[in-house]
Structure 1
């Protein structure tokens, strides 16, 4: 999930930069962090950690610029530790290869919590030291044994309001109801959140979703196939299928919500009702060269709400620290997936379920949508 989502964040950031969309507030925040510290840390594929250095592995592109501005430069000033950005992608296989080599060059990884937990149980990740990382600076339930939440995004309903008059969808039952809300639909190619959406539409109560009844979900999805015009794999695809009129509704990443609203002149809107919240997290590679304690201190530093606001401004990521909610301007709160008003309408994806079941579930889902 993180791989595809992070790459989409980069697309958004690059597009904003190309259009010169840098607000005074965003510029002030980034400048304050960067100018207060030393020059930006090196962003390099395969970066090697040296003394007083950490290598933070993310999904590449301009993500390194955002992570440097928000977290890297401030940590250099605070702790005297340079954080090098490695954009080669912390897949499960790559992390495992790092550790099994006996000489890992990575320290911290931007990982799906369920991936970090699975790797941790294999002895490939360090346990999060909650005497350094503060659980009180996390939303309840989003701190795990081998990973700590650092941002959020959601799968939400976007719809073409020009086709439905005054009618507004209020949940997944409406998404699957083509009589009440006519037109084609678009779903996520890689399954996450789609099983939950199908089950919610089929009448399963939010607090009874897990463990997911995959047979029931796949039956619902198979029966709905004729109404699906596309299964998108990236945010730009989900956006275009609505903008070009192919679909009247789509389940999209929340980071695309404001963009699609803007590009459609306001005719395409979105709702948080029964949105599905997904967390991103940082984990520490077992035996990392920069040292476990230093890596934990970096994660703790990244809990600063003002730093997480930089990530919200640059990549649209919802902050993990609830104290950051008050720092988001009133006109931007509606775009934050974990704003209290938005969060209370949604359901969090169960990372423990995904840790155990995602691979086989995706295989079955792929067969259905490909048939």
Structure 2
């Protein structure tokens, strides 16, 4: 190798490192092969090992769960340190990051429809599907700017002391307060609730989208006098049912599972006629750790071993169906995304939510406040 060519190779490595295309470990190894380690150490590159990549989720138990399932393994494999921030990656918070001119977040765990919305605004980077293997998830679970990190469901749970094993099975049952008397709880932030109302009103599952929002609101008005609370957090929905304040609830399946365990199966639930949704990984435009490490992290987080770990910790369904091969029969039964349970549920339409969420939510919340 000539001196000029070696110098050119070194320059290429430095450029790749500064762009985030290679990590610190790879850079040092490559420079070692070029006998240029001293130059590597004074190259002036700010490494993520010195300044961790920041992955933002919604806090709570997910902080430690993400670390155990994903970031520890990623750091071990790449040498890149990762910090989990539980600040909550709302669309507004992500926009504020970009508006500051110096975003401090790298990877975010956000609503799948938000990835579509923010991607169109160039607030999120297009995902590099040369690094991330898009076919690891079902086609509906990825977009240009987001790919599913995990899945979760909205399900019906009921108090067996009031209804025995024959609790409500359909959303028409949920609305039937004569057959299933008692107070209800529904989700404050709308997802899945418009669909539930329309099904209760006789709309066929394959005719749900585009959602008829006025019709759904009218149906929600029917049951509103029987709704004790529109829950805004999983803990709130769980407490309402533990205390027996509500007879039937539309809640996350992860909370329903905990309720069944905590009440010695007094609270029962089913995936029947549930709504399955996904959260997505996305990368902020101009993220400080660089594009390549962020894409590498997402690819690592899609691996079955880590997805199984998250399921074991939180109950979230894997987005990579290959994870099912690692699951026991009992785990498959509790997995919202297993083949058997998917057949019982309806998938929320991320594109509809991307196009209509803000306006529909405003109308929904207005109805709740009346």
**TM bracket, shorter-chain basis:** 0.7 to 0.9
Partner of 2:173: 174
> Which structure 2 segments of 5+ residues have no match?
1-46
Residue by residue over 1:29-70, the C-alpha shift from the partner in whole angstroms, topping out at 9 and shown as x without a partner, is xxxxxxxxxxxxxxxxxxx95668422112234433221221
What are the equivalent positions in structure 2 for 1:294-313 lying under 5 Å apart?
294-313=293-312
Partner of 2:93: 94
Is the Cα contact below 8 Å between 2:56 and 2:87 reproduced in 1?
Answer: yes
What are the equivalent positions in structure 2 for 1:345-364 lying under 5 Å apart?
345-364=344-363
Partner of 1:80: 79
Is the Cα contact below 8 Å between 2:157 and 2:268 reproduced in 1?
Answer: yes
Partner of 1:160: 159
| Cα gap change, 1:165 to 1:95, in 2 (>3 Å) | closer
Is the Cα contact below 8 Å between 2:254 and 2:314 reproduced in 1?
Answer: yes
Take 1:294 and 1:166, find their aligned partners in 2: how far apart are those partners? 50
Partner of 2:229: 230
Q: Does 1:202 align with 2:224?
A: no
Partner of 2:137: 138
Partner of 1:332: 331
Q: How many angstroms does 1:80 deviate by?
A: 2.1
Q: How many angstroms does 1:328 deviate by?
A: 2.4
Structure 1 runs of 4+ aligned residues shifted over 6 Å read none
From the CA coordinates, give the structure whose radius of gyration is larger: 2
Take 2:107 and 2:122, find their aligned partners in 1: how far apart are those partners? 15
Is the Cα contact below 8 Å between 1:169 and 1:271 reproduced in 2?
Answer: no
Is the Cα contact below 8 Å between 1:257 and 1:335 reproduced in 2?
Answer: no
Partner of 1:148: 147
Take 1:296 and 1:302, find their aligned partners in 2: how far apart are those partners? 10
Partner of 2:105: 106
Take 1:257 and 1:355, find their aligned partners in 2: how far apart are those partners? 27
Q: Does 1:239 align with 2:238?
A: yes
Partner of 1:341: 340
Secondary structure of residue in 1 paired with 2:140: coil
* TM-score with structure 2 setting the length: 0.83
Secondary structure of residue in 2 paired with 1:332: helix
Q: How many angstroms does 1:277 deviate by?
A: 0.9
Q: Root-mean-square deviation (CA), in Å?
A: 1.8
Secondary structure of residue in 2 paired with 1:141: helix
Partner of 2:69: 70
Secondary structure of residue in 1 paired with 2:55: strand
Is the Cα contact below 8 Å between 1:51 and 1:290 reproduced in 2?
Answer: no
Secondary structure of residue in 2 paired with 1:110: strand
| Cα gap change, 1:241 to 1:109, in 2 (>3 Å) | same
Is the Cα contact below 8 Å between 1:185 and 1:250 reproduced in 2?
Answer: yes
Is the Cα contact below 8 Å between 1:49 and 1:55 reproduced in 2?
Answer: no
Secondary structure of residue in 2 paired with 1:362: helix
| Cα gap change, 1:89 to 1:242, in 2 (>3 Å) | closer
Take 2:146 and 2:256, find their aligned partners in 1: how far apart are those partners? 28
Residue by residue over 1:123-172, the C-alpha shift from the partner in whole angstroms, topping out at 9 and shown as x without a partner, is 11101111211122113310111111010111100011222245243221
Q: How many angstroms does 1:199 deviate by?
A: 0.4
Q: How many angstroms does 1:231 deviate by?
A: 1.3
- Number of paired residues? 324
| Cα gap change, 1:268 to 1:87, in 2 (>3 Å) | closer
Is the Cα contact below 8 Å between 2:111 and 2:278 reproduced in 1?
Answer: yes
> Which structure 1 segments of 5+ residues have no match?
1-47
| Cα gap change, 1:58 to 1:49, in 2 (>3 Å) | farther
Take 1:238 and 1:98, find their aligned partners in 2: how far apart are those partners? 31
